[in-house]
Amino acid sequence: MTTNTQQTELLAILESLIDENSGQPYGSVWQMTGDESRLHISLNLGYPAEMEQASLEARIKTALDDSREITLDIAHEVKSQPTQGNITGLKGVKNIIAVASGKGGVGKSTTTVNLALAMAKEGARVGILDADIYGPSQGMMMGFADGTRPEVREDKFFIPPTAYGVQVMSMAFLTTKDTPVAWRGPMVTGALMQILTQTDWNDLDYLFIDMPPGTGDIQLTLAQKVPVAGSVIVTTPQDIALLDARRGIEMFNKVKIPVLGVVENMSTHICSNCGHHEAIFGDEGGASLAKEYSVNVLGKLPLSLAIREQSDAGKPIVIDAPESDATGIYQSIARKLGATLAGNQDSSDNKQFVMPTIGMSDD
């Protein structure tokens, strides 16, 4: 039998173990039962981390240095976090995460789709709203056929189609290719708010919004109106992209949406002949940006042919190559994102969110 003293000592070791996703000690999230031959440990987290099972089991074995067989259960409960200005949340959605970039073409949509799929593989219920109205690509990347339309319930609600276990809504499901191009800003934000609120999201832990690129009026209006719990900035390491990413962070700061972190995309080039990594555009761009604004670099993705080919072929790399290095990076980013958002609860309990005061037309 494990004595109470033994158990308390072992629990203390686990409590001081560093959660690699939050960078903080796990604290009192463990439970333990045991006998002479085995220890059963369960862990209850505020974010999903099922893909970490094997590595965490190994870390626990090393940390406890106990000869008994060890089994681990990882459970999670995702809570709804505050939104900017405490805007009323969206029915069926616990947390909205906006994925943004200061400029187009840095891989925001590719990052959104792979992050959403990675989060689903960690055990979360996930949705994607493609708000990248001028270049909606989520439908294609998630493998939906051209002309896919959502079912409509009670003449009012769209039922989001599902792919790889993720609920997806896109303006591209409702319009023809040419429609939104001619729209002015207010029409775009109006239409996006409508599909956001009239979609029957089914019990989501996280809804990822693939924001339109840039930091203009459309993005600012969305950042003010959509009840967002946190945002992610995608950038490439070039100076020009970083300059635009700065504007993105400043926009979210202005409307009091926490920036959960920066993802540096196309960070290094990997030679397909010899596998050599080369930081063509330098390797400190995302880190210095993150330092400047006191946010974390959640992860760095290489410039990889597989990432491009699989996304463009409707089967993103997280699904197509689950064992690849890139998938491992997306999984790690997803867990860090979940942990950072869950950690916001503690500090935000005492935080007074202030209604944004930027002068915007009420479109």
Ligand X SMILES: Nc1ncnc2c1ncn2[C@@H]1O[C@H](COP(=O)(O)OP(=O)(O)OP(=O)(O)O)[C@@H](O)[C@H]1O
> Is 177 annotated among the ligand-binding residues?
no
SS (H, E, C) 317-342: HHHHCCCCHHHHHHHHHHHHHHHHHH
Cβ neighbours of residue 335 closer than 8 Å, sequence gap 6 or more: 21, 47, 48, 49, 51, 52, 122
Between strands 204-210 and 126-130, the pairing is parallel
> Is 108 annotated among the ligand-binding residues?
yes
Q: Cβ(53)–Cβ(41) under 8 Å?
A: no
311 binds ligand X (CB under 6 A): yes
Tokens at 279, concatenated: 């930081």
Q: Which of residues 14-53 bind ligand X (CB under 6 A)?
A: none
Give phi and psi for 102, each to the nearest 5: -70, -30
Q: Which of 17, 187, 270, 303 is close enough to bind ligand X by CB under 6 A?
A: 303
Binding mask 176-215 toward ligand X (x if CB under 6 A, else -) reads -------------------------------------x--
DSSP assignment of 293-322: TT--EEEE--B-HHHHHHHHTTS-HHHH-T
307 binds ligand X (CB under 6 A): yes
Q: Which of residues 106-125 bind ligand X (CB under 6 A)?
A: 106-110
Longest distance between any two alpha carbons in the chain, whole Å:
72
Q: Which of residues 211-250 bind ligand X (CB under 6 A)?
A: 213
Binding mask 261-300 toward ligand X (x if CB under 6 A, else -) reads ----xx----------------------------------
CA contacts within 13 A on the Cβ side of 297: 21
> Is 94 annotated among the ligand-binding residues?
no
Q: Which of 235, 253, 167, 236 is nearest to 207 (CA)?
A: 167
Query: Which H helix or E strand runs over 224?
Result: helix 217-225
Q: Which of 104, 185, 186, 328 is close enough to bind ligand X by CB under 6 A?
A: 104
Part in contact with ligand X (CB under 6 A); list of ranges 164-172, 256-264, 282-290, 304-312: 304-312
314 binds ligand X (CB under 6 A): no
Part in contact with ligand X (CB under 6 A); list of ranges 86-94, 104-112, 277-285, 346-354: 104-112
Q: Which of 105, 165, 190, 282 is close enough to bind ligand X by CB under 6 A?
A: 105
Give binding residues for ATP as ranges. 102-109
Binding site for ligand X (CB under 6 A): 101, 104-110, 132, 135, 137, 213, 265-266, 301, 303-304, 307-308, 311-312
